[in-house]
Amino acid sequence: MENRLNRIKELVEILNEAGKSYYSKGVEIMTNFEYDKLYDELVLLEKETGHVLSNSPTIHVGFEVLSELPKERHESPMLSLDKTKELEVLADWLGSQKGVLSWKLDGLTIVLTYENGNLSKAVTRGNGEVGEIITNNAKVFKNIPLTIPYTGKLIVRGEAIITYSDFEKINANIPEVDAKYKNPRNLCSGSVRQLNNKITAERNVKFFAFSLVTAAGEDFNNSKMQQFQWLTNLGFDVVEHKEVDQANLKETVLWFEEKVKTNDFPSDGLVIIYEDIAYGDSLGQTSKFPKNSLAYKWTDETADTVLREIEWSASRTGLINPIAIFDTVELEGTNVSRASVHNISIMESLQLGIGDTISVFKANMIIPQIAENKTKSGNCEIPKNCPVCGGLTRVEQQNGVKSLYCTNPDCQAKHIKSFAHFVSRDAMNIDGLSEATIEKFVQHGFLKDYVSLYHLEEYKEDIVELEGFGKRSFDKLMEAIEHSRHTTMPKVIFSLGISNIGLSVAKMIVQWIGSESERLLCATRDELEAIDGVGAVIADAFVSYFEDKDKKNVFLRLLDELDIEKEVVNDNPKILDGKIFVITGSLQHFNNRNDLKDLIESFGGKVASSVSKNTTYLINNNNTSQSTKNKTAAKLNVPVITEDEFLTLANVSM
């Protein structure tokens, strides 16, 4: 008994850490297959012993959200679904009833509220009880109706997703391997929860309704199918569904299993719900699961094979990713011989060794992964030298995840990836320089640093003789390079590939510090940390980069090659100079908080992320709210003002 109780404690700790990492940080420290296996083991042990810990993932719906988006409690809790992988269990659950079978989409659950025919609110699932308000973002989803021909109060739940094809297009525009998104779900989660809905709009997020919560005054004849049809008539895209009973359940499940192989959207199974709404509601719920519906997870097609090699792939930041190479097997109709292991933590948890017998599968029937290691020799060694340059490697641990890095600053992989980043669209935007071309130029000695890009004409005779090149290609490349000379300082800073500094952060730094090179090079860590959105890690990365004399020298020489746009001078009166604002809650006159922040800063004010004794005003349209920020403001005697009161203060009309 003691051993089983200790195992329960161990499983709870492992699963909670994995869940927190995945849902709150977007980092996988174990595969979905491994998580489900451990979860099922925990459920069985809890049933056998009757011992359930208060923090067990089997009784907790989800994890707390960590962003700065405003929060709101759902009118009714959003519970998880109980699940099975066995068709017989699904059939027993359905019994003599009719059911509605639909995709279990793998995205982010959203709750939409419509009033008087207009979309009034959109909230994420969050932890099941409290979600994040993302109304402005939902309004730019590709297929959400902003107005509907129904004036009563409507609450509908659905899944926000990004298709595989859109996911691949977005990743294709990210040159560095370690910056690419791991899967469509992570990309969707980040896209839906942006503070700037312009980014959301660019990501092609789509919404599929799967549950009608409230529709005042409407009669659906107690039919779930009629609810779906009614939502379709209102203009919603409804999750694909079919009515089932005992007679057609098996063949319908097989139809879905065959179709998922060609779907352009991620799905990790099916959901069945009773067609008879009243019957389903009468069954009630457990502390975690509703009893009117059940999730059917795919029984993953697995194949045993032999691990032959761990290939280590280096990136421009020095991250070296492990990739499993194994004897080719057929899965879901395609040949598979390699799978990403993601990081050292997963490699160690699987105890991988060369020659081991491993079981592989396709997650969501798409992405090859290792399900389990049957022999667990654990003889895979972590390379002490970089596979590209031979330099020493170092294992680093961040957020509980161990990863391998090359320590050689002159690693060729870093140069190639860094050049690829430097010429990418959001950086210097030099078309015609693929990684393959950059690699050739580096190998021939044409490229030594960023400045040498602007002197490639010196090697014209050699370049036009390269395979795949010619005079026309060279002329086009020279034209692109000349065009790139006219740029902005934020793009230059972003192009340098400084750790943790994306284009948006570079813009914030330039807006705060200015675009003069001398001023940027003299910026201190304290100055940078004072910028909202720039913490200690980013500040240290920026200052440390320019403390390197060689990098500083390249930056200054690079500026001599460029025509930097002058920053637009803001001539607004500095009537808010010295005042510090914090913004919370939903907005009425501004598309998002960044728009309001920009206006405040244009009048000389500053915007902080949290209320402190230095805060001048907290802007919240609901000044009677019991939110944390309002409570803190009350304790510190910080005035809470509405948007309208702020606009009066700034003497701005909207």
**What is the set of active-site residues?**
104
Q: Which residues of 381-402 are buried (b: 16+ CB within 10 A; e: fewer)?
A: eeeeebebbebebeeeeeeebb
Strands of the sheet containing 108-115, edge to edge, are: 118-124, 108-115, 154-161, 206-215
State in Å, rounded, how far the first CA of the chain is from the last one: 68
388/329 Cα distance (integer angstroms): 29
640/634 Cα distance (integer angstroms): 8
Quote the distance between the C-alpha of residue 382 and its chain's center. 28
Residue 332's region, left for phi above 0, alpha for psi from -120 to 50, else beta, is left
Closest by Cα among 113, 115, 165 to 138:
113
Cα angle 130, 132, 138; round to 5? 135
Written as one letter, the residue type at 317 is: T
Enter the tokens of residue 136.
């402005």
- The answer to whether the CB of 187 falls within 8 A of the CB of 167 is yes
Q: What share of the chain is helix, strand, coil (3-state, %, to 5)?
A: 35, 25, 40
SS3 at position 234: coil
352/373 Cα distance (integer angstroms): 7
- The answer to whether the CB of 82 falls within 8 A of the CB of 219 is no
